[in-house]
Amino acid sequence: MNKSAANSEIWLWHKCLGHSSFGYLKKLMPKLFVQLLDTEFKCDVCELAKSHRVPFQNNMNKSPAPFTIVHSDVWGPTNTCSLNGKRWFISFIDNHTRMTWICLMKCKSEVSSLFKQFHNMVATQYSSAIQVLRSDNGGEFVKQELKQYLINHGIVHQTTCPYTPQQNGVAERKNRQLLEVVRASLFEAHMSTKYWGEAITAATYLINRIPSSTLGFQTPLSVLHKAICSPTVSHLQLRVFGCTAFVHLHKPLRNKLDPRALKCIFVGYAQHQKGYRCYHPPTQKLYVTLDVVFYENRMYYSAPESSSQEHNKDNWQTCYDDLYVTRDKHSSNTSSHSMQDGNSEEYIEAEPQQTTGSEENRIEVLQQQTQVP
Ligand SMILES: [Zn+2]
C-alpha cells in the first residue's frame, strides 16, 4: 500500500473507532504505519474532545470470573435532552471482562429498577450471579428499595468513601472514555448535543468490540464469550458516526414516483437487531436497516459557518460543556429541570435485508490485523 493510501486508511480507522489514539492504531495495524509515524498524526477534533483529562489511577486488580464484581455509575443531567427525552445514563461494567452496558434515563430514580433488569439479564443470558455491586454512595444507590433487593439476592454492595470517587475508578474511567468518544463523534460530525444519547449508545457498542490494552489487546466481548457460553451477538461493519447514510425505502414506504432512498444521518447500531440506526431529521424518524449506502467522507451536517475554516475552541467547548465528566452534576436536583416529551420521535423498523457479502466486514479485518507481539 502506498503512503497516501495508508494515510487515508488510518484516518478512516481513526474516525470509525471513535477517535482512538494513533499510537493505539499503530499497535492494532502495524502494516499501515510502515512508512508513517504515529506521532505525525494530529487531529483537531481529538484536541477539543480530550483536553480535560484528569489522571485516574489504574487499579489492575481484576476479578477471577465475569460478573463477580460489577461497577456502576450514574451520570447527568445534561442540559439538552436526547432525541428520546433522556438526560441521564447509568453504566454497568463487568470487572473481569470490562464489558459495558449503559441505559439512558429520564431521571435518576430509575436506577433501582434498571439494576434489577440488569441483574435478571445477567442471570438469564449468562447464567451468572452478580456477587458484588460497586458504586459511589450517591443517593440513588443507597435507597431502601435497592438496599433490600441487594440483601434479598445476597449481593454485597460496596460503596466508596465520601469525596473519593477514585475508589470507583473502573466506572469513572469508563464513563470518561465514553464521553471522550461522544464529544469527538459529535465535534467531527458538527452535530448538536441533542444527539448525545445516540452517540453514547454507539460509543458503548464500539468500545465493547475494540481491543483494550487492559485486556492484553483482546476485546471485552471476546473475553466474555471465552469465559461464558453466551448467545452470539451480531457484528456490523463499523461506520463513521454522523456520516451521510442513504436508506433504501422499501415499496410499502413509498409511491411509484417517490425517491427510492432517503438521506439520513448514521447514528449507531441496533441493539436487538442486525441493522444500522439511521435518523431522518426533517421527519424525526429513525430507521433500523441493513439496506443503506454510507458516504463516510461526507458528514450529514456541514461545518457551521463560523468554524468552517478553523474550529473556534471556546465556542465548541461552551457548546459541549454538558458532556464533560463532572461530579457536581451527579448530585444536583432533577426535579428543577423540566423534561421534554420524548415521544415525538417515531421509530420505523425498516425491513432488514441481506447484504451482498461482498464487502469485507471491518470488524473482522480489525481482528485479523490485531497481532500485538
Ligand atoms: Zn481525532
Q: In CATH, what number is assigned to the domain containing residue 127? A: 3.30.420.10
pLDDT at 237: 92
pLDDT confidence bin for 316, thresholds 50/70/90? very low
Is the CB of residue 258 less than 8 Å from the CB of residue 249? yes
pLDDT at 140: 87
Are residues 80 and 195 both part of a single domain?
yes
Domain containing 121: what range? 69-227
33 within a domain of the structure (yes/no): yes
Q: Is the pLDDT of residue 304 over 90?
A: no
Residues 6+ apart with CB under 8 A from 125: 230, 231
- Calculate the alpha carbon distances from 227 to 63, 170, 274 in Å: 12, 20, 24
pLDDT confidence bin for 303, thresholds 50/70/90? confident
Are residues 76 and 190 both part of a single domain?
yes
Q: Is the pLDDT of residue 306 over 70?
A: no
- Closest by CA to 10, choosing from 369, 364, 276, 294, is 369
Are residues 75 and 220 both part of a single domain?
yes
Over residues 180-184, the mean pLDDT reads 94
Task: Tell me the torsion sign for CA atoms 299, 302, 303, 309.
Answer: positive
Q: Is the pLDDT of residue 207 over 50?
A: yes
Q: Enumerate residues with CB within 5 Å of ligand 1 (an ion).
A: 19, 43, 45-46
How many angstroms is it from 160 CA to the middle of ligand 1? Answer: 34
77 within a domain of the structure (yes/no): yes
346 within a domain of the structure (yes/no): yes
Q: What angle do CA 3, 7, 11 make, to 5 degrees?
A: 170
Query: How many Å separate Cα 143 from the centre of its chain?
Result: 28
Are residues 214 and 88 both part of a single domain?
yes
Whole-prediction pTM: 0.80
How many angstroms is it from 207 CA to the middle of ligand 1? Answer: 15
Are residues 153 and 84 both part of a single domain?
yes
- Calculate the alpha carbon distances from 332 to 78, 88, 176, 371 in Å: 11, 12, 19, 46
pLDDT confidence bin for 289, thresholds 50/70/90? very high
Task: Report the distance separating Cα 211 and Cα 206, nearest Å.
Answer: 10
pLDDT confidence bin for 327, thresholds 50/70/90? very low
How many angstroms is it from 180 CA to the middle of ligand 1? Answer: 10
More confident residue, 338 or 371: 371
pLDDT at 230: 76
Task: Report the distance separating Cα 98 and Cα 60, nearest Å.
Answer: 12
Are residues 27 and 74 both part of a single domain?
no
Over residues 234-250, the mean pLDDT reads 92
318 within a domain of the structure (yes/no): no
pLDDT confidence bin for 101, thresholds 50/70/90? very high
Exposed / middle / buried, residue 298 (Cβ in 10 Å: 0-12, 13-18, 19+): exposed
Task: Tell me the torsion sign for CA atoms 295, 299, 305, 308.
Answer: negative
C-alpha cell at 6: 495508508
Domain count across the chain: 3
How many angstroms is it from 38 CA to the middle of ligand 1? Answer: 13
Phi, psi angles (nearest 5°) of residue 132? -130, 130
279 within a domain of the structure (yes/no): yes
How many angstroms is it from 211 CA to the middle of ligand 1? Answer: 18
* pLDDT-wise least confident of 50-54, 69-73, 99-103: 50-54
**Last residue of one domain, picked from the residues 198, 227, 256:** 227
129 within a domain of the structure (yes/no): yes
Q: Is the pLDDT of residue 41 over 70?
A: yes
48 within a domain of the structure (yes/no): no
Are residues 222 and 76 both part of a single domain?
yes
Are residues 173 and 211 both part of a single domain?
yes
How many angstroms is it from 51 CA to the middle of ligand 1? Answer: 12
How many angstroms is it from 187 CA to the middle of ligand 1? Answer: 10
Are residues 91 and 155 both part of a single domain?
yes
Are residues 95 and 24 both part of a single domain?
no
% of the chain at pLDDT higher than 70? 78
295 within a domain of the structure (yes/no): yes
165 C-beta neighbours (distance < 10 Å), count: 19
pLDDT at 310: 39
- Closest by CA to 17, choosing from 26, 125, 357, is 26
pLDDT at 167: 72
Are residues 204 and 151 both part of a single domain?
yes
- Residue 281, preceding bond cis, omega within 30 degrees? no
Are residues 223 and 283 both part of a single domain?
no
